[in-house]
């Protein structure tokens, strides 16, 4: 296989979408969490990326404690990694390795107390879910990935 054929195959087997337009992303928010975002969620950012059978989904939105509680209830069961926990560090390392993270996506740091997570929750060969809030930026972040 020559180089040009390889490039064509890679490009034709991947797709992506990115937006920071709240109006366009209301339906994506609802698809993720089962309800429309209230007006308190002023900003919504989204990136979807599919490469062959790998799918990744990043979302960020204005933090609202009532919205976060509703999401946690909707997405149960969720595990919790506290900032002083080994799992917390493992999740951060995993997120940092992803070269496809959008520029607006903040990896958890000292401004994050906990990460809600679950693994292998979809009917796929592999899936992961991470949700956290950055206290300084007052943004909540979601990262979901899976392999078909």
- Over residues 59-79, the mean pLDDT reads 96
CA distances from 128 to 55, 73, 88, 136 (A): 11, 17, 14, 25
Q: Look at residue 41 in the predicted model and tell me its pLDDT.
A: 97
Torsions phi, psi of 76, nearest 5? Answer: -60, 150
Residue 53 binned pLDDT confidence (cut-offs 50, 70, 90)? confident
pTM for the structure as a whole: 0.86
Sheet hosting strand 14-19, strand order edge to edge? 14-19, 44-51, 54-62, 139-147, 126-134, 114-119, 79-82
Torsions phi, psi of 16, nearest 5? Answer: -155, 160
Stated length of the chain:
148
Of 48, 41, 21, 39, residue with least CA distance to 133:
41
Whether residue 4 has pLDDT greater than 70: no
Among 9-23, 44-58, 76-90, 113-127, top mean pLDDT goes to 76-90
Q: Look at residue 67 in the predicted model and tell me its pLDDT.
A: 97
Q: Which residue has the higher pLDDT, 101 or 122?
A: 101
3-state helix, strand, coil in the chain (%, to 5): 30, 35, 35
Q: Look at residue 10 in the predicted model and tell me its pLDDT.
A: 42
Whether residue 69 has pLDDT greater than 80: yes
Q: Cβ atoms within 10 A of the Cβ of 4, count?
A: 8
């Amino acid at each position: 296989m020559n180089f040009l054929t390889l490039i064509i195959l890679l490009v034709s087997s991947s797709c992506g979408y990115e937006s920071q337009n709240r109006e366009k992303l209301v339906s994506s928010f609802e698809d993720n969490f089962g309800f429309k975002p209230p007006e308190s969620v002023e900003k919504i950012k989204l990136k979807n990326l599919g490469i062959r059978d790998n799918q990744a989904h990043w979302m960020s939105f204005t933090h609202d404690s009532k919205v976060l509680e509703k999401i946690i209830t909707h997405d149960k069961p969720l595990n919790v990694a506290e900032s002083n926990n080994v799992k917390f560090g493992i999740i951060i390392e995993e997120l940092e390795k992803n070269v496809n993270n959008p520029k607006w996506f903040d990896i958890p740091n000292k401004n994050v107390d906990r990460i809600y997570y679950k693994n292998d929750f979809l009917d796929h060969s592999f899936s992961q879910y991470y949700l956290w809030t950055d206290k300084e930026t007052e943004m909540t972040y979601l990262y979901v990935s899976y392999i078909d």
